[in-house]
Amino acid sequence: MNTETKQILTSDGIPLEQSLKKAERINKIKAFLLVAPLLLFLLITYIFPIGEMFSRSIDDKMITNMLPKTFKAMESWDGQELPSEEVFESFLIDYQVLIDAKIQGKLTQRLNKEKNGFNSILKKLKRKMKKFEDGNYKEQVLSVHKRFKDVAYWRAIKRTAPPYSVAKYLKAVDMFEDENGNYVQVEEKRRIYKKLWIRTFEVAFFVTIFCFLMGYPIAHLLATIPMKYSNLLMICVLLPFWTSLLVRTASWMILLQQQGLVNDFFVLIGLVADNNRPEMMYNKVGTYVAMSQILLPFMVLPLYSVMKTVSPSLMRAGKSLGGTPFVSFWKIYFPLTVSGIGAGSLLVFILAVGYYITPELVGGASGKLISNQIAYHMKQTLDWSFASAMGLMLLCGVMAIYWVYNKLVGIDNIKLG
Amino acid sequence: MKKLSKLLLALSFVLSITSSAFAVTVVSWGGAYTNSQKLGYGDPTAKKLGIPVNWVDYSGGLSEITAQKEAGAITWDIIDVYAMDTINGCDEGLFVEFDFDKDFGPGSDGVKASDDFFAPMPSACAVGNILYSWTYAYNHDTIGKKKPTSIKDFFNTKKFPGKRGIYGSAMTNLEMALQAEGVNVGKGNGLVYRKLEAEGGVTRAMDKIKALCEDPDGGCVFWSGGAKPPELLVSGEVVMTTGWNGRFFNAIMDGAPLTQVWDGQGLDYQYMVVVEGGPNQADAMKVIKEMMSTDGLAGSAKHIAYAPFRKSSLAVIAKGEPWYKDGKTNMLPEMPSSKKNTKKYFLVDAQYWADNKTEIGEQWEAMKAALK
């Protein structure tokens, strides 16, 4: 048997296989064109910004290009004593170039971020160096300000030499690279980020638990009572969901503050003394309460849609086969709703990990999360590369949770409805 | 009918484009302060020059304008900023560098601008707007029989138990804490900054605040917007809080039972800058010139107790007393610069904060996050 005889031709003489492939290819292109806008959208709004964030978090090229001579002269410097005359001279040359181009301010800002105190001494240097005499630059620079005699400032300049650096990632876990290239912890009173990472995941975890404990009975009630009541209840769930986040957070502030309604009520019924009102806001309690309420619909809705599909006859069958209500719930009903629990928990957890405005408003100092620090560095210190690094770490954390979840429960088992 | 509606639509479209092209956007801190600026010199300037002036609120810092610049879509023209931010923004090339005596007119008495403004500018991009003060206040209805009178009382939880309202960043908090530790600031002698620069100075100040916040008789609520401190006092959430004197003053004028304590106050200047490459830079220069004129600055003091930056404006107010908008209240005694309010004060050192903001900020955030 040879292949010639097996080949089937279409009516216009082209082999069927080829013709089919062609038709399929056209379909594939059509399908691709249909999703192309979405793909493009994802690329522009998702992949590209994340890439941009990553490059921003490690990119330190600007200063590398600003002080080329200085960094070259510094290569042989060991960082122990003050650098040599050559370094000082190169630095003055580089600095003069920047002044002539009127961009010396950017160098000032960058170096001041690396080590505080650069801002004023570089400005002073700019004023004084106009009158510098030739030669003996080291002595002249040192006489400008006592901080120039501090080796730490020159080490800071050397640290900025490489075009790329992972310093921001180290900083996000309270570490830095010392002169010998070792990664060491920052001094104790400056440690903050590790604590906040743990707190962020802790808050997200407990908010998820609270939402589950409150949301499960609600969803069950919604799914089982007659339609006319359940619609009304559904509106009770959805109405806050449609209300602005800020409005809901602000209402919690009115309720929870020390002179607020809840405390007034406690005092009225004699639960607490008037001068000893408990603090329920501007701390972690406030963050927990407000976030649990705000995220509750994200738990209730997937649970409800899954429970709606569970036939009531299953429970009846379980009971008629001799199971107690608890056993039939645990063995039949609960396993059928696991996919909804998974979806709800994942939604709530991921939203909670990145929550910003609610902890900012009701969290006080002890209820602040890592996202508040990201905002702080975006807004206050303008250290956007550090904010990017933390943002990416948060993203990776969420992806890790997603991965673990996928291994444990399986992502295919998630049902949103 | 259809034609008419089409015509109207086209007309409104053209109008909306032209009006937004003409308008100058001024960004400030909102609330009673922006109100005083809008009524005091914003609206009169717009009327006089025929250039609409829009007011936008923000909460300070250079992040928004930096983002606008990076995105290449600048929408702000003039910004009201802290002194240290004029330094940082000028370094970054965000703002226009002024040719001071050319860009700003002489005072009404003919004195040239650079002599009429009563302090040198912290950077070439800044023009002085007001002199304001960081004071603290208490609710005299609820504080009890004893009344706080000194900056030390703010930190004294034995005598005055209860929570304190504290500004969310380190600036001015550290200066006040060191005064409670016994540093005498005199009449703006700068000693407090030398103490902060000395070894362990910042830590000492921060420990004082940490102790206040963790004290079972004390405790802290951090504020960031200027409207918050009077609100915290009126709602009874705190017994004392730091704040901006103009906001306290306006709350008092509106009937709030508050009293300000001027002892150890922090005098600070507030500045305006023009954004480099803003949407309407040429008009913005005209607008800022008009707003920062003698009458412009004096006008804003009709609505809030901040001192105008020009000596000639102060003279106008002195002549026109009672200057407050209600027609009964003398304004000069309420100003941060008045004699009775400046018995003991520190001048906020912009260069110190431009230098040290990042590192102190990190330590401050770490302190806050570790509060019990």
Residue A88 has pLDDT above 60, yes or no: yes
Compute the distance between CA of residue A109 and CA of residue A269 in angstroms, rounded to an integer. Answer: 58
Domain layout of chain B by residue ranges: 24-131+269-341, 133-265+343-369
Taking contacts as CB-CB distances below 8 angstroms, the residues of chain A near B355 are 112, 116-120
DSSP for A297-314 reads HHHHHHHHHHHHTS-HHH
> What letter does residue A385 receive in the DSSP assignment?
H
Q: pLDDT tens, B215-233?
A: 989 999 999 889 999 999 9
> What letter does residue A129 receive in the DSSP assignment?
G
CB atoms within 10 A of CB B67: 15
Q: pLDDT tens, A206-259?
A: 999 999 999 999 999 999 888 888 889 889 888 888 889 999 999 998 898 888
Residues A133 and A145 occupy one common structural domain = yes
- Segments forming the whole domain that contains residue A37: 17-58
Residues A126 and A141 occupy one common structural domain = yes
Compute the distance between CA of residue B121 and CA of residue B269 in angstroms, rounded to an integer. Answer: 9
- Residue at which a domain ends, from A118, A146, A162: A162
- Token look-up 């876990």 returns A173
- Over residues A16-41, the mean pLDDT reads 90
Residue B1 has pLDDT above 60, yes or no: no
Encoding tokens for residue B182?
A: 């016994």
Q: Which of A89, A141, A152 is nearest to A117 (CA)?
A: A152
Predicted ipTM of the assembly: 0.76
Residue B44 has pLDDT above 90, yes or no: yes
Identify the residue with better confidence: B3 or B226: B226
CATH topology classification for B24-131+269-341? D-Maltodextrin-Binding Protein; domain 2 (3.40.190)
Residue B72 has pLDDT above 80, yes or no: yes
Encoding tokens for residue B78?
A: 């003039």
Closest partner residue to B91 (CB to CB) among A106, A191, A381 is A106
Count of domains for chain A: 3
pLDDT at B14: 53
Name every residue whose Cβ is closer than 8 Å to that of residue B48 and which is 6 or more positions away in sequence: B290
Residue B9 has pLDDT above 60, yes or no: no
- Residue at which a domain ends, from A9, A43, A58: A58
Residues A109 and A54 occupy one common structural domain = no
Burial of B85 (0-12, 13-18, 19+ CB in 10 A): buried
Residues A287 and A141 occupy one common structural domain = no
Residues A309 and A380 occupy one common structural domain = yes
pLDDT at A240: 85
Q: pLDDT tens, B326-341?
A: 888 899 999 998 999 9
Residue A1 has pLDDT above 60, yes or no: no
pLDDT at B348: 94
Encoding tokens for residue A216?
A: 């499960």
Q: pLDDT tens, A142-151?
A: 999 989 999 9
Put simply, whether B207 touches A (Cβ < 8 Å) is no
Give yes or no for a contact between A172 and A386, defined as CB atoms under 8 angstroms apart.
yes
Q: pLDDT tens, B126-135?
A: 999 999 999 9
Q: Which of B124, B27, B130 is nearest to B77 (CA)?
A: B27
Angstroms from B341 CA to nearest CA on chain A: 31
pLDDT band at A2 (very low <50, low <70, confident <90, very high): low
The region, left, alpha or beta by phi > 0 then psi within -120 to 50, assigned to residue B365 is alpha
Q: pLDDT tens, A318-346?
A: 888 888 888 888 988 999 898 889 889 99
Query: Which of B359, B365, B368 has the highest number of chain A CBs within 10 A, making it the mutation to test binding with A?
Result: B365
pLDDT band at B20 (very low <50, low <70, confident <90, very high): low
Which helix (H) or strand (E) element contains residue A287? Answer: helix A284-308
Angstroms from B82 CA to nearest CA on chain A: 12
* Interchain contact, A119 vs B363, CB within 8 Å: no
Residues A52 and A97 occupy one common structural domain = no
Three-state DSSP class for residue B243? strand
Mean pLDDT, rounded, of chain B: 90
Residue A194 has pLDDT above 80, yes or no: yes
Give yes or no for a contact between B24 and B280, defined as CB atoms under 8 angstroms apart.
yes
pLDDT at A405: 83
Compute the distance between CA of residue B321 and CA of residue A363 in angstroms, rounded to an integer. Answer: 45
Chain B 311-330, CB below 8 Å of chain A: which residues? none
Compute the distance between CA of residue B243 and CA of residue B253 in angstroms, rounded to an integer. Answer: 16
Residue A415 has pLDDT above 80, yes or no: no
Burial of A78 (0-12, 13-18, 19+ CB in 10 A): exposed
Q: Which amino acid is at A256?
A: L
Put simply, whether B361 touches A (Cβ < 8 Å) is yes
Residue A21 has pLDDT above 70, yes or no: yes
Closest partner residue to A192 (CB to CB) among B358, B360, B365 is B365
Residues A100 and A207 occupy one common structural domain = no
Compute the distance between CA of residue B335 and CA of residue A379 in angstroms, rounded to an integer. Answer: 31
Residue B4 has pLDDT above 70, yes or no: no
Compute the distance between CA of residue B6 and CA of residue B8 in angstroms, rounded to an integer. Answer: 5
Compute the distance between CA of residue A374 and CA of residue A385 in angstroms, rounded to an integer. Answer: 10
* Interchain contact, B219 vs A279, CB within 8 Å: yes
The region, left, alpha or beta by phi > 0 then psi within -120 to 50, assigned to residue A20 is alpha
Phi, psi of A358 (to 5 degrees): -65, -50
Q: Which amino acid is at A212?
A: F
- Over residues B150-166, the mean pLDDT reads 94
Encoding tokens for residue A55?
A: 């490059």
Q: Crossing angle of helices A118-128/A151-159, nearest 10°? A: 100
Residue B175 has pLDDT above 70, yes or no: yes
Residue A160 has pLDDT above 80, yes or no: yes
Which helix (H) or strand (E) element contains residue B272? Answer: strand B258-274
Q: Which amino acid is at B30?
A: G
Residue B79 has pLDDT above 80, yes or no: yes
Residues A112 and A244 occupy one common structural domain = no
Three-state DSSP class for residue B75? coil
In chain A, pLDDT over 90 holds for what percent of residues?
Answer: 40
Chain A 243-262, CB below 8 Å of chain B: which residues? 257-259
Cβ-Cβ pairs closer than 8 A, A with B, add up to 92
Encoding tokens for residue B306?
A: 């901040």
pLDDT at B10: 59
Compute the distance between CA of residue A290 and CA of residue A355 in angstroms, rounded to an integer. Answer: 11
CATH number for domain B133-265+343-369, candidates 3.40.47.10, 3.40.640.10, 3.40.190.10, 1.10.443.10: 3.40.190.10
pLDDT band at B8 (very low <50, low <70, confident <90, very high): low
Beta bridge partners of B80: B272
Compute the distance between CA of residue B66 and CA of residue A257 in angstroms, rounded to an integer. Answer: 36
Instruction: Name the least confident of A62-66, A354-358, B17-21, B209-213.
Output: B17-21
Beta bridge partners of A183: A177
Mean pLDDT, rounded, of chain A: 88
Give yes or no for a contact between B37 and B80, defined as CB atoms under 8 angstroms apart.
yes
The domains spanning B24-131+269-341 and B133-265+343-369 adopt the same CATH topology: yes
The region, left, alpha or beta by phi > 0 then psi within -120 to 50, assigned to residue B144 is left
Residue B21 has pLDDT above 80, yes or no: no
- Over residues B237-266, the mean pLDDT reads 94
